[in-house]
Amino acid sequence: MPIIEVDNLRKEFKVYQHRKGFWGAIRNLASSQYSLIKAVDGISFGVDEGQMIGYVGPNGAGKSTTIKMLTGILVPTSGKINVAGLTPHKNRKENARRIGVVFGQRTQLWWDLPVIESFQLLRRIYRVSGENYSRNLDMFHDLLNIGDFINTPVRKLSLGQRMRCDLAAALLHDPPILYLDEPTIGLDVVAKQRIRTFLNNINQERKITIVLTTHDLADVEKLCRRMMIIDHGKIIYDGTVDEIKRRYGKNRRLVVDFARNYKHIHIPGSEIIRRNGHRIWLQFNRDHYSASQLISQIAEKYDIIDLTLEEPEIETIVAGIYEGKMEE
């Protein structure tokens, strides 16, 4: 039995059409014109308890709108949502007690208060027992390493530190479901890895169901087995991450910084698609050559300073699927 069920869900917004000019302003006073924007257009899916799924798509695709309806922030135009037996927008308080939410660009912590005081306020709001509060705080200390700045005001935290504290705040009351909207946006590699490790731990050990929206395909690849892609309000793919990579993410890029400026560079199995001084971008098909094979060839022939492997961007994959231009 899925813990989250969505059936033919739709959300439309009215957008006011402003008429220009003097006479347009007069007409605006007399009558208003609106156009309907379909942010979410008839999507259906289910999420089983303990699953961690990636919910991805380009900007404006409908990801955040879907999450806001699942949390009860927005009321659907039509369709049905069932989250752990509740309809979110009709049972907001009960639903809020059963979910945790992290929006990457917003914080649920009090800006001028030390982190620990925000936690204590949230403990009272959610009526968390002293025993559970202490147990969870110890876990956050161990897995998120927040002890060094737990007494620091939120406004003085770095983005990575604040994000770790937001994750802890969202999980203080032991919710069975966690919604994450761009939780690693703007973070460096180290901060991203720490958050990924934490999410993987709570998903496996506590069986928390996690719905992750992100633009970073690496987040989905490292954390999720299942992936849904939404574009123009419609789900255009729902399946495994391995399958989407096999079908649509064959072309990878290797960025190479050479020790000197080689005029002629030839690496079998790859194509130079860009060059900037000592740096080149090589594109290759992962079905024909592995990154390790190319790196070995390059290291044998040339002096290199650094190497970076780039996965296809999610926008490229989504656009390719939607437009039917990617070769399967």
Tell whether 182 and 53 lie within a shared domain: yes
Which pLDDT tens digit goes with each residue over 226-253? 999 998 899 988 999 888 777 777 888 8
Q: Which domain holds residue 87?
A: 4-10+41-246
**18 assigned to some structural domain:** no
**219 assigned to some structural domain:** yes
Please give the distance of CA 36 from its chain centroid, rounded to a whole number: 27
Show which of 246, 261, 284 is a domain's final residue: 246
Backbone angles phi, psi at 80, to 5 degrees: -125, 145
pLDDT at 15 over 80: no
CB atoms closer than 10 angstroms to residue 297: 16
Tell whether 273 and 138 lie within a shared domain: no
Name the residue type at position 273.
I
- Measuring CA to CA, how many Å separate 261 from each of 268, 281, 303? 19, 14, 10
* Parallel/antiparallel/unpaired status of strands 52-56 and 209-214: parallel
More confident residue, 122 or 311: 122
Q: Average model confidence (pLDDT) for the chain?
A: 87
Which pLDDT tens digit goes with each residue over 42-74? 999 999 999 999 998 888 889 989 999 999 999
**Total domain count, the chain:** 2
Tally of helices (H runs) and strands (E runs) in the chain: 11, 13
pLDDT at 68: 93
Tell whether 161 and 197 lie within a shared domain: yes
Query: What is the mean pLDDT of the segment spanning 259-283?
Result: 87
**73 assigned to some structural domain:** yes
Tell whether 135 and 236 lie within a shared domain: yes
pLDDT at 318 over 70: no
**228 assigned to some structural domain:** yes
Tell whether 148 and 290 lie within a shared domain: no
Residue whose entry in the numeric block shows the structure tokens 């910084």: 257
| Rounded Cα distance, 77 and 234, in Å | 15
Bridge partners of 47? 4
Tell whether 91 and 237 lie within a shared domain: yes
CB atoms closer than 10 angstroms to residue 210: 22
Of the ranges 29-33, 128-132, 242-246, the best mean pLDDT one: 128-132
pLDDT at 323: 67
* Parallel/antiparallel/unpaired status of strands 251-258 and 304-310: antiparallel
Residue 194 sits in a domain of what CATH number?
3.40.50.300
Does the pTM exceed 0.85?
Answer: no
- 76-90, 168-182, 210-224 — which is least confidently predicted? 210-224
Tell whether 87 and 205 lie within a shared domain: yes
Question: At 311, is the pLDDT very low, low, confident or very high (cuts 50, 70, 90)?
Answer: confident
Show which of 246, 266, 293 is a domain's final residue: 246
Of the ranges 93-102, 189-198, 279-288, the best mean pLDDT one: 93-102
CB atoms closer than 10 angstroms to residue 313: 15
More confident residue, 313 or 153: 153
pLDDT at 327: 46
pLDDT at 326: 47
Q: Burial, 146: exposed, middle or buried (Cβ in 10 Å; 0-12, 13-18, 19+)? A: buried
What percent of the chain has a predicted confidence (pLDDT) above 70? 91
Tell whether 98 and 118 lie within a shared domain: yes
pLDDT at 212: 94
Tell whether 138 and 271 lie within a shared domain: no
Question: How many angstroms separate the first and last alpha carbons of the chain?
Answer: 33
* Parallel/antiparallel/unpaired status of strands 279-285 and 270-276: antiparallel
**21 assigned to some structural domain:** no
Tell whether 88 and 69 lie within a shared domain: yes
Which letter does DSSP use for residue 155 in this model?
G
Show which of 230, 246, 262 is a domain's final residue: 246
Question: At 11, is the pLDDT very low, low, confident or very high (cuts 50, 70, 90)?
Answer: very high
**33 assigned to some structural domain:** no
Tell whether 181 and 293 lie within a shared domain: no
**288 assigned to some structural domain:** yes
Please give the distance of CA 58 from its chain centroid, rounded to a whole number: 11
pLDDT at 314: 62
**45 assigned to some structural domain:** yes
Tell whether 53 and 119 lie within a shared domain: yes
